[in-house]
Amino acid sequence: MGKCKDEMEKLINGEVEEVYISSEFESMETLSKSVQVWRYDKDEDVISYSTLTKTNINRPYFIKIKNGKNFVAKKYVGENLTDDTKLKLVSKQEAIIILGLKECNNI
């Protein structure tokens, strides 16, 4: 997860505008795929993200976290929720492919 954490620090420092992290979780029946899109508002020090799946792409929800700089420094961003979850840093184009889209301005 070092790459995800490094990329999040670049986001806080203004070196990148967005960070995309893909997540795969395999259950007995299916393989669930999603993409987290992270953004940072330097003026308000608010980090926000949305988790996108094929089913919620048109109506994603957004989570905002105050004290974004502190959050990235102290929390292990990109930590697996379970040992079975596979997280990977991806580009916007890779995120579009993972979500099965031709193109998308929403993400």
Residue 31: domain span: 2-98
Residue 103 domain-assigned (yes or no): no
pTM of the model: 0.78
Residue 59 domain-assigned (yes or no): yes
Give the pLDDT confidence score for residue 38 in this predicted structure.
92
Q: For residues 41 and 28, what is the distance between their CA atoms, to the nearest angstrom?
A: 39
Tally of structural domains, the chain: 1
Give the pLDDT confidence score for residue 48 in this predicted structure.
92
Residue 73 domain-assigned (yes or no): yes
Give the pLDDT confidence score for residue 95 in this predicted structure.
87
Residue 106 domain-assigned (yes or no): no
pLDDT along the chain (107 residues), means of 10: 81 93 82 89 92 84 87 66 67 87 65
Give the list of residues 6+ apart from residue 95 with CB closer than 8 angstroms, or none: 20, 22, 35, 37, 52, 107
Closest CA to 33 of 52, 58, 8, 56: 52
